Structure 1
Amino acid sequence: MLVPGLLYIAIFHYAPMFGLVIAFQDYKVFKGATGSPFVGFANFVYLFKSPQFITAMKNTFIISAYKIIIGFPVPILLALLINEVRYIIFKRSVQTILYLPHFLSWIVMSGLLFNFLTEQGPVNNLIKMTGRKAIFFFSDEVYFRSILVLSDIWKEMGWNAIIYLAALTVVSQEMYEAAKIDGATRFQCMMKISMPSIMPVIMIMLLLRMGSILNVGFEQVFNLYNPMLYSVGDIIDTYVYRIGVLENKFHISAAAGMFKSVIACIMVITTYYFLEKVEDK
């Protein structure tokens, strides 16, 4: 039964790792990976001397930090709140409504955001009603990162809450009943029973999230940004797309991808070490 899964991993995950050799070559399409000249770390030197890559790397870390700090706790809070709802029909209706945005592509979501935030959209109409001027959200650097973070939370918070809701279902009801007998309020039960009970799951999810710290969301950024927002919105993935696909510098894009993988590995090891120390205490 394991054979299909192992074959999938071997063919589509391990075999393509041979392509990492491109990151150390001056890759030529017609010569291939075996015929292109070896240049050592020259591609990495090129990356770290490129102002565009430095800007993309800085933006990637900043946007990812915003999404972790602001976005990571939201599904946890949402799961705790949904768990406290006692009316089953209302509870399931809320869950369904919150799950729906996850199944929309970023092309659809970007269209909705453009319609909401355009000069003639409902948001700017409300702003104009207060006597203020319309805001050009998709040409102003001040608002773009906030749009990325908030739209990502809107789209994924319901879906990401599923695993925490699943963890809450195995919490013993006897603990809640004992706490209520002792006079605990629902908020106290949530903070003293529900939250500690799902803490191992939270730690695992945080570990996985830190491992993908440089995966900010190519589709989201690509569909929302424009050249006027490169200074605050250009990320490593969009940089790789431009340099690799549009300019045919595949060796540079391979070097950038390898850099991402190394950073992800370091973040996973560091986060695991930190969480292990916290758990021991």
Structure 2
Amino acid sequence: MENKDIPSKNVANSSYKVKHNKQPQHKHRLKKNMGNNYILYIFLLPAIILTIVFHYVPMYGTIIAFKDFSPIKGIWGSEWVGFEHFVSFLQSPNFLQILINTIKLSSFDLLIGFPIPIVLALMLNQLRRAKAKKNIQLILYAPHFISVVVISGMLFIFLSPTGPVNSLMTIFTDEPYSFMSDPDAFRSIYIWSGVWQGAGFASIIYVAALSNVDPQLHDAATMDGASLLQRIRHIDLPTLKPVMAVLFILAAGGIMAIGFEKAYLLQTSMNLPASEIISTYVYKRGLQAGDYSFATAVGLFNAVINVILLFTVNYVVKKLNDGEGLV
């Protein structure tokens, strides 16, 4: 019996040694890889430094969300108040309105703006004339390079009571319509102007993914009698599925981090009930009113919700996409 137990002990000891020798071997391979490709790591170094300086170092300042911050006393000298600012924000009379505005604006922007670049990419992929395809892509990509300030100014000019849109509408109506003063019109103006500005440029990733599709697959499907929609459904869409999953997770994870600039620039005193969102509220309370602690608490609250949404959406996509997610 003792002799029979010896081999099992040796096997256990050998497996134990192999298991615990993996870590030194892994470190050795990592050092060897860094030594052989040190030039690549040098090129990567500026990006790492910038990420640390502008993304990780500022996290230290979030501590003022739990303090009654005073610029004179500094971060550590300010009085600790715990979750007082969070409670104050949750109990504020305009909390629900700001939260609902943010969720509605970002959700509709995602639901409308996410599929349009995919449709554009599928349409561009069907063009066979290279020159026509390049010209159409140039027209679609150009709005992305226009400043948000310029876009907002254009919207105010075109949609003003004396603008070209109202000039056409007065042919059928007696009075001009004040688009920028109507809270109900603000959401549509924000979303569709964003689609016009960013859909073309957002389709680049999908166009690049479709360029990897073997043309012989389409030729074979055409010979078998497959229609255009059938080829898109069974060849192009499965190719785009992994890219769509990753981009949807990233977009849904940042659903609460909707852009500040455009919403603030399009705000008027009349459309404020629909245009006031968390980012504009933080700007007004933090920089304009000087309530830095409260603004930081609201921003931290927003960030926590974004992180929760990111992991939730990633989990759902993993379940629906056969275990393929972002994290």
TM-score, normalized by length of structure 1?
0.97
Higher relative contact order (CA 8 A, sep 6+): 1
Among 253, 257, 282, the alignment partner of 1:211 is 253
Q: Which residue of 2 aligns with 1:274?
A: 316
Instruction: Find the residue that maps to 1:50 and give its secondary structure.
Output: coil
CA offsets 1:11-65 (integer angstroms, 9 cap, x no match): 1111111111011001111111110000000000011111233322110000001
Equivalent position amino acid for 1:63 in 2: L
Say whether residues 1:258 and 2:300 are aligned partners.
yes
Q: Which residue of 2 aligns with 1:230?
A: 272
Q: Which residue of 2 aligns with 1:74?
A: 116
Tell me if structure 2 keeps the 8 A contact 1:25–1:39. yes
Instruction: Find the residue that maps to 1:26 and give its secondary structure.
Output: strand
Equivalent position amino acid for 1:130 in 2: F
Instruction: Find the residue that maps to 2:256 and give its secondary structure.
Output: coil
Q: Which residue of 2 aligns with 1:25?
A: 67
Equivalent position amino acid for 2:202 in 1: N
Q: Which residue of 1 aligns with 2:38?
A: none
1:12 & 1:211 partners in 2: Cα distance?
20
1:157-236 to 2 correspondences below 5 Å? 157-236=199-278
Question: What RMSD in Å do the two structures reach over aligned CA positions?
Answer: 1.2
Shift of 1:132: 4.4
Equivalent position amino acid for 1:97 in 2: I
2:249 & 2:200 partners in 1: Cα distance?
20
Q: Which residue of 1 aligns with 2:190?
A: 148
- Comparing 127-136 with 57-66, greater Cα deviation is found at 127-136
Percent identity of the aligned residues?
A: 40
1:227 & 1:28 partners in 2: Cα distance?
31
Tell me if structure 2 keeps the 8 A contact 1:106–1:219. yes
Shift of 1:133: 2.6
1:187 & 1:86 partners in 2: Cα distance?
17
Q: Which residue of 1 aligns with 2:167?
A: 125
2:105 & 2:47 partners in 1: Cα distance?
34
Q: Which residue of 1 aligns with 2:139?
A: 97
CA offsets 1:102-154 (integer angstroms, 9 cap, x no match): 11111100111112111121211111112343110011112110000001101
1:238-253 to 2 correspondences below 5 Å? 238-253=280-295
2:212 & 2:303 partners in 1: Cα distance?
35
2:154 & 2:301 partners in 1: Cα distance?
34
Q: Which residue of 2 aligns with 1:115?
A: 157
Tell me if structure 1 keeps the 8 A contact 2:102–2:278. yes
Tell me if structure 2 keeps the 8 A contact 1:53–1:236. no
Structure having the higher Rg: 2
2:169 & 2:77 partners in 1: Cα distance?
60
Runs of 4+ in structure 1 deviating by more than 6 angstroms, as ranges, are none
Say whether residues 1:42 and 2:84 are aligned partners.
yes
Tell me if structure 1 keeps the 8 A contact 2:257–2:306. no
Q: Which residue of 1 aligns with 2:106?
A: 64
Equivalent position amino acid for 2:298 in 1: A
Shift of 1:196: 1.5
Unpaired runs of 5+ in structure 2? 1-41
Instruction: Find the residue that maps to 2:315 and give its secondary structure.
Output: helix
Equivalent position amino acid for 1:280 in 2: D
Instruction: Find the residue that maps to 2:229 and give its secondary structure.
Output: helix
Shift of 1:191: 2.1
1:168 & 1:137 partners in 2: Cα distance?
39
CA offsets 1:65-109 (integer angstroms, 9 cap, x no match): 110111111111111111111121111111111111111111100
Instruction: Find the residue that maps to 2:70 and give its secondary structure.
Output: coil
